[in-house]
Each structure stands twice: as structure tokens, then as C-alpha cells.
Structure 1
Amino acid sequence: MSDLQEVDETTFDELVLRADKPVLVEFWAQWCGPCHQILPVLTQIGAERNDQLTVVKLNADENPAISANYRVMALPTLMLFHHGEPIWAVVGARPKAKLLKELDDALLATV
């Protein structure tokens, strides 16, 4: 689906919860139109901000236990993890500028 690294139930703990920097997770599904719409934006942010955070995707249909654990009820859900804890979440696609502003605000709160 993209250049974003995919995480699943076998890699989520290592790549998201134990990561040494913040991780933005896109909970997505193949049938989700807005998930495909926001993917290029997330890919750009992942490339532009790779020194600051990691951006990954998790197929909610294929990993229902993780989705349920974090109460993901709609797609796409974007969730920012820091030190193993979700610190920010939003549902739905949004323009890159708005998403970057929201991410920057969430990341500033971690400093």
C-alpha cells in the first residue's frame, strides 16, 4: 500500500511501544477510502520528520486485538505513541498543514 512500515501483533511492542522516539500509527483497512487519501501525507511526514518521529501503519482488520485495546472505532485513526503510551489521537483524514500543527502541539507536550 505504501512506503510506510507495516506493524502487526508480532512487531507492535518492539516497533511502537519500545521505540526510542515517538511513533505515529495509522490504523487503516484496505476498504477505507480516507485511509488511502491520507497515506501520501503520512509518507511525506515520515520522510520529512524521520529524525523526530517514526510513522507506521497497522491494518485494523488484520490486527483486531490491538485496535480493540486502543479503542479504535473508526478509520483512519492516527495515534501518537511516546514511551509506550498513546499521547494523542485523531480520527479521519486531514490536510498536511493541519496534521503537522496537531502533531507539533502533541510533541511539544512531551518535552
Structure 2
Amino acid sequence: ANEELTTLWLQLGQKQLPSYRHACALATAHKSLPQSLLTSGLCGLWMEQLEALACQDGPLTCRPSDIEQAVQLLVKMSSDDAVLLIQHVMALCDEQLQPEEYLEM
């Protein structure tokens, strides 16, 4: 399932590849989106879900099918929105990985 996200990312002309952590964050946030949401407002709402998820404690858990569903929705989005969303999740995950004590170094 993560390969589908990587393939999409390369098709969008991006070089820094998303990790499994990024895919899982996208998939977990995707599960909170309303099923009837139109693609026009999708990017903003998905970003809001990612922000809320970043504030939660505990590890993310997702199944390969969750990632597949998230990627299927990403494919339906405009290229610009898909790139923006994936870059956003990558930045959020990278922030979460850096403990505060290392930020001062």
C-alpha cells in the first residue's frame, strides 16, 4: 500500500519520498473525514484532521487497506492539493520526531 503512495508522489514530480509513518498519518486522518465530502474542500479538512492527530498522544495504527483508501482519494485531488497535503503531513511528522531538547543544538 505504501508503494502506491510512493508511485503517486513520484508521478507528482516530487523527490523526497514519504515514509510509512507519513502514509499511516494520512490514512488515520482520512478515516475521520466525512464520506460525502467533495474534493473541493478535501485538502483543507484533511489538513485539519492531521493537525488534530498531531496533538494526540500514542502511536498511529493503520492497515494497508486504510492507506490504499487514502491514496485512492489523493489521486482524485488536484495535483497541487495532493502535493500540499503530503508535504504538510511530512512536515508534521518531522516536527513530532524532534524532541525539544534537540532543537537547541
Q: Give TM-score, length-normalised by structure 2.
A: 0.27
More strand by share: 1
Higher helix share: 2
- Greater radius of gyration (CA): 2
